[in-house]
Amino acid sequence: MSFFKKLFGTAAKEEVTMSKLNIGIILGSTRQGRVSPQVGQWIKEIADQRGDANYEIVDISDYNLPFLGTTDGSEPGIAAWNQKLGELDGFVFIVQEYNHSITGALKNAIDFARDAWNNKAAGIVSYGSTGGARAAEHLRGILGELLVADVRVHPTLSLFTDFENGSVFKPQALHLDNVNAMLDQVVAWSGALKTLR
């Protein structure tokens, strides 16, 4: 008997598999010249070939979020951001490392929601001089506070070997297995956690 059936029973599994899960690929940078759209598109192309969920790119720059605490919170982008997160069952964060952590824009966007994150799963794809590992570790701590279960498999991309001149994304083929293993976990955990919401 599968782990899923043991934990949630056959009826729960059938209910979750009747409709595909919605997984958002969140671009974690807003700066000019960013490479996160290239990485996000690469992940989406791999994910779409799987056919196991509905994947979409969610760009935080599209929401024009103000700095948290500097306005009355009535900007339409805040409500739209929370609505979009509420429609998603899981996430893949595209994370770049800045000063050993995530970008301020991503932290700000994360803090503009609370309940919309709860009881969902997330994978992390990071990049930087050390593969973005330190940023990913910081993000894991933040996600835990928001009741987001981050999966173990973590594709790391190097600015030295996966990007040409630091601006053109050319991933090594060896990353494909890690990306698919990460997506396997995100989809499985997102389905399991959906039964809690």
* The pLDDT of residue 178: 97
Helices (H) and strands (E) in the chain, counts: 6, 8
Per-residue pLDDT tens for 103-119? 999 999 999 999 999 99
Predicted local confidence at residue 16, as pLDDT: 45
pLDDT (0 to 100) of residue 12 = 47
Q: Which long-range contacts (CB under 8 A, 24 or more apart) does 67-76 make?
A: 67/108, 68/108, 68/111, 68/112
The two tokens of residue 185 are: 């976990």
The sign of the dihedral angle between the CA atoms of 182, 185, 191, 192 is negative
**Reduced 3-state DSSP string for 177-188:** HHHHHHHHHHHH
CA angle 91-112-116, nearest 5°? 45
Residues of the chain under the 50 pLDDT cut: 1-5, 7, 10-17
pLDDT of residue 18: 58
Question: What is the Cα 74 distance to its own chain's centre?
Answer: 26
Q: What are phi and psi of 190, to 5 degrees?
A: -60, -40
Total number of residues shown for the chain: 197
CA distance 66 to 50: 36
